[in-house]
């Protein structure tokens, strides 16, 4: 459980993990030899050789790696998608004998950019066309005046995004444009990938990596030898989730609450799944059978209408239950259904320039509503699903420490429930959780969140969370209690009503009593006394808050991306301006510095 | 001559340690203030400390909680639904219209907006 962070010259978590694994069973003699080996390697690297290829045979002396061009896969990631994609591409490159240097924009030294020769960029977009939060510093640099000319660089951009948002893949578009402006050569046209288009992203990636590999690209001595990999246990991921039993499913919000928030406990003991505080749990969703039946009926199709999906036969009902998003519609669906129905209004809305109008329309119209408005007589099952997007897993921050809860995982889930066109609608997973009680099982996997981690035990932490955003802090405090951590902890929590919505109230009281939590400030926006939110409490505590930051506190923000995150950011800037006597620009730089020091982490959704 | 300056400490008919513990509590309470003011501004709980609960009783205010939801809230990891009951002293059982209106005003100002 020992956690050493920030040791050595900017080792990434992956590099550090590898190193630690390597070091775990070395003899003294081996350790000395390896020390010399790395020294030799460092000399080669200074001379321009690429990163060491994993899996090559152990040489007798420092490797002589022939290299002409360096190859870097640079990613900007917030929830880990782009990071995962970048690592997958690096493996693909390795198979082609191409040693890729995988770098996170978060840790990227701006001075390294001018030396990049072959650069493959993978970047996601969030909110209103924003780059991933950890990549903001990199964007500031590359889009600023200090960015170097890149005449000798070849690049390609893989942009990840969500087409239901107005500024689709905007971060990727910005980098693609900017790299060209700086004089770099576009080796392949940018690809924009929706949340369900991982397959086309991978296909593009494979082709592009090959483009980089041909020509005068860095090649390691030999491709990875077969059989070098250790046999690993079956990987549990979103394509291969583990079915785990629910052992508790209760409503946390008290009587009279304006919302419903649930506490779910899952038993992971038979799965071998493990997690650390900060990680998320992915739930592979299944659509509500009633919603599926309603859509099938609205389509005028038979429930068992046959369909071929991923080259396998499946019934329409099964496909709509487990494979497709049937609640929120996408621009692709508008175009596809508009074509089928001859509905010019839908086709019009699907056009790129109608983004704002489309967003509003999609908010008010689900797939079923659109089908009902524009019926298509004699539509086939294949046509009906053609424009639908694949059902995506839902991610929830884990609200427990595995050590403290004997391997169980707790979740804090707000039930999404609203009325649309006269009928009640429920969130796909939260609706299911509110239906199934505590005897069912759920298909899950662990989604690591390396950007959201506890610091060393003696470091102070400041945690800001609204609503279910408080979940990871329950994990943090359980973990710190278990480890007997000495660092101070301060929690800011916001919800609607004190009486009914003070999630985990008695647990925080216990942590305050035993000192695991040093301070707690709460804001309830719908109690008498006015709309008070966490950002107000941050401002009220400006003096103390700034003192904690100056003492080296790590700062965490978790919760709603639209409502809370920007307001909290604004409050933090005000605190730094007011207490630190800094200009707004200097305060922004202060926050950015916290970020690059891994002391300011956000998990917003 | 002002009566404000009269020292009442010697008014005790017996030494404190020969009396019940509540008498020591009262004697140490800064004229029944205790930490009531601090307890009331604590946003993490709707209750006051056990000592303050006792001191408030001497002033006619009683901390209670809604027993009907006590078990339900315990399972929900919420503290009991605390509330306070105030007793009004009416000598001879007489309440003037002015007093009644004052009680009404105070109730509107301080009572919970919603009764569970």
Contact list in B for residue A522 (CB cut-off 8 A) is 43-44
ipTM tops the 0.90 cut: no
Residue in chain B lying closest to A500 (CA): B78
pLDDT-based confidence at residue A81 (cuts at 50, 70, 90)? confident
Shortest distance between the Cα of A250 and any Cα of chain B, in A, equals: 7
| CB-facing half-sphere around the CA of A243: CA atoms within 13 A | 4
Cα dihedral sign, A183-A189-A193-A197: negative
Q: Do B69 and A256 touch (CB under 8 A)?
A: no
Mutate to test the interface with A, among B78, B79, B80, B114 (most CBs of A within 10 A): B78
Which range of A55-59, A94-98, A484-488, B4-8 scores highest in mean pLDDT? It is: A484-488
Residue A560 DSSP SS3: coil
Counts for chain A of helices (H) and strands (E), in that order: 21, 21
pLDDT > 60? residue A128: yes
Please tell me the least confidently modeled range out of A109-113, A140-144, A427-431: A109-113
- Distance CA(A576)–CA(A548), nearest Å, equals 12
Which position has the higher pLDDT, A512 or A136? Answer: A512
Q: Which two tokens stand for residue A534?
A: 């966490």
Tell whether B114 is within 8 A of chain A (Cβ).
Answer: yes
Mean pLDDT of A550-570: 91
Give the pLDDT score at A146. Answer: 73
Q: How far is CA A495 from CA A258, A418, A492, B7, B74, in A?
A: 11, 19, 10, 50, 19
Residue in chain B lying closest to A504 (CA): B77
Give the pLDDT score at A64. Answer: 37
Task: Say which residues have a Cβ less than 8 Å from residue A78's Cβ, sequence separation at least 6.
Answer: A124, A126, A132, A133, A134, A135, A451
| CB-facing half-sphere around the CA of A116: CA atoms within 13 A | 31
- Distance CA(A371)–CA(A513), nearest Å, equals 56
Q: For residue B26, what is the enclosing H or E element?
A: helix B21-27
- Distance CA(A563)–CA(A550), nearest Å, equals 27
Contact list in A for residue B79 (CB cut-off 8 A) is 502, 505-506, 509
Give the pLDDT score at B8. Answer: 63
Tell whether B43 is within 8 A of chain A (Cβ).
Answer: yes
Residue B78 DSSP SS3: coil
Shortest distance between the Cα of A506 and any Cα of chain B, in A, equals: 6
Tell whether B82 is within 8 A of chain A (Cβ).
Answer: no
pLDDT-based confidence at residue B31 (cuts at 50, 70, 90)? very high
Contact by Cβ (8 Å): A72, A101: yes
Per-residue pLDDT tens digits for A270-329: 888 999 999 999 999 999 999 999 999 999 999 999 999 988 999 999 999 999 999 989
Which position has the higher pLDDT, A18 or A182? Answer: A182
For residue A136, count other CB atoms closer than 10 A to its CB: 19
Mean pLDDT of B58-82: 94
Give the pLDDT score at A239. Answer: 86
Percent of chain A with pLDDT over 70: 87
Beta carbon pairs, A and B, within 8 Å: 47
Which range of A142-151, A301-310, A543-552 scores highest in mean pLDDT? It is: A543-552
Q: Which two tokens stand for residue A54?
A: 């994993």
pLDDT > 90? residue A147: no
Reported residue count of chain B is: 116
pLDDT > 90? residue A1: no
Shortest distance between the Cα of B14 and any Cα of chain A, in A, equals: 37
Task: Say which residues have a Cβ less than 8 Å from residue A576's Cβ, sequence separation at least 6.
Answer: A546, A549, A582, A587, A590, A591
Phi and psi for A524 in degrees, rounded to 5?
-115, 120
pLDDT > 60? residue A236: yes
Residue B64 DSSP SS3: strand
Per-residue pLDDT tens digits for A493-535: 999 999 999 999 999 999 999 999 999 999 999 998 789 999 9
Give the pLDDT score at A265. Answer: 95
Contact by Cβ (8 Å): A493, A520: yes
Give the pLDDT score at A44. Answer: 54
pLDDT > 50? residue A231: no
pLDDT > 50? residue A229: no
Mean pLDDT of chain A: 86
Give the pLDDT score at A540. Answer: 97
* DSSP string for A325-336: --SB--HHHHHH
For residue A56, count other CB atoms closer than 10 A to its CB: 19
Shortest distance between the Cα of A561 and any Cα of chain B, in A, equals: 26
Contact by Cβ (8 Å): A604, A597: no
């Amino acid at each position: 459980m020992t956690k050493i962070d920030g040791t050595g010259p900017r080792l990434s978590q992956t590099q550090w993990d590898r190193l630690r694994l390597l070091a775990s069973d070395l003899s003294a003699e081996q350790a000395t030899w390896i020390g010399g080996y790395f020294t030799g390697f460092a000399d080669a690297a200074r001379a321009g050789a690429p990163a060491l290829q994993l899996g090559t045979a152990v040489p007798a002396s420092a490797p002589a790696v022939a290299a002409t061009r360096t190859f870097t896969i640079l990613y900007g990631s917030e929830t880990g998608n782009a990071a995962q994609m970048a690592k997958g591409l690096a493996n693909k490159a390795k198979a082609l004998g191409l040693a890729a240097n995988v770098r996170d924009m978060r840790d990227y030294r701006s001075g390294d950019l001018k030396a990049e020769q072959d650069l493959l960029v993978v970047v996601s977009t969030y909110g209103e066309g924003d780059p991933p939060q950890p990549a903001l510093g990199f964007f500031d640099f590359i889009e600023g005046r200090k960015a170097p000319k890149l005449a000798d660089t070849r690049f390609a951009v893989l942009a990840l995004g969500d087409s239901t948002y107005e500024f689709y893949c905007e971060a990727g578009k910005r980098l693609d444009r900017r790299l060209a402006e700086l004089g770099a050569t576009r080796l392949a046209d940018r690809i924009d990938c929706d949340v369900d288009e991982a397959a086309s992203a991978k296909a593009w990636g494979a082709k592009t990596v090959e483009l980089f590999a041909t020509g005068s690209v860095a090649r390691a001595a030999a491709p990875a030898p077969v059989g070098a990999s250790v046999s690993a246990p079956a990987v549990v991921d979103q394509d291969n989730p583990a079915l785990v039993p629910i052992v508790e499913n209760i409503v946390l919000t008290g009587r009279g609450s304006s919302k419903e928030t649930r506490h779910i406990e899952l038993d992971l003991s038979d799965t071998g799944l493990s997690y650390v505080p900060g990680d998320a749990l992915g739930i592979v969703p299944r659509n509500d059978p009633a919603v599926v039946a309603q859509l099938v009926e609205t389509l005028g199709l038979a429930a068992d209408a046959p369909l071929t999906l991923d080259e396998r036969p499946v019934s329409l009902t099964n496909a709509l239950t487990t494979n497709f998003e049937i609640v929120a519609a996408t621009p692709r669906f508008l175009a596809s259904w508009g074509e089928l129905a001859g509905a010019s209004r839908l086709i019009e809305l699907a056009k790129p320039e109608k983004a704002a109008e489309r967003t509003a329309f999609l908010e008010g119209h689900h797939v079923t509503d659109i089908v009902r408005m524009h019926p298509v007589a004699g539509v086939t099952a294949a046509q009906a699903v053609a424009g639908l997007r694949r059902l995506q897993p839902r991610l929830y921050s884990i609200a427990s420490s595995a050590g403290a809860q004997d391997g169980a995982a707790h979740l804090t889930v707000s039930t999404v429930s609203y009325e649309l066109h006269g009928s009640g609608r429920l969130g796909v997973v939260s609706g299911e959780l509110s239906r199934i009680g505590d005897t069912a099982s759920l298909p899950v996997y662990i989604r690591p969140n390396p950007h959201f981690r506890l610091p060393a035990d003696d470091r102070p932490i400041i945690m800001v969370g609204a609503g279910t955003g408080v979940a990871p802090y329950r994990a943090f405090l359980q973990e710190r209690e278990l480890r007997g951590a000495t660092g101070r902890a301060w929690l800011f929590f916001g919800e609607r009503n004190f009486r009914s919505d003070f999630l985990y109230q008695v647990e925080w009281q216990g942590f305050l009593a035993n000192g695991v939590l040093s301070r707690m400030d709460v804001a309830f926006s719908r109690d008498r006394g006015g709309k008070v939110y966490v950002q107000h409490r941050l401002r009220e505590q400006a003096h103390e808050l700034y003192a904690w930051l100056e003492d080296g506190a790590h700062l965490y923000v978790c919760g709603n991306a639209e409502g809370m995150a920007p307001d909290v950011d604004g409050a933090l800037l005000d605190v730094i301006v007011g207490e630190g006597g800094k200009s707004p620009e200097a305060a922004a730089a202060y926050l950015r510095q916290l970020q690059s020091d891994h002391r300011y982490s956000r998990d917003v959704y | 001559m002002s009566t404000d300056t009269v020292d009442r400490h010697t008014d005790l008919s017996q030494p404190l340690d020969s009396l019940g513990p509540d008498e020591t509590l009262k004697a140490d309470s800064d004229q029944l203030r205790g930490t009531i003011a601090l307890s009331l501004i604590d946003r993490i709980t709707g209750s006051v400390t056990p000592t303050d609960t006792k001191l408030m009783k001497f002033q006619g205010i009683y901390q209670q909680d809604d027993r009907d939801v006590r078990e339900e809230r315990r399972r929900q990891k919420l503290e009991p639904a605390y509330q306070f009951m105030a007793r009004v002293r009416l000598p001879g059982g007489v309440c003037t219209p002015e007093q009644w209106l004052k009680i009404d005003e105070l109730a509107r100002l301080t009572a919970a907006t919603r009764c569970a």
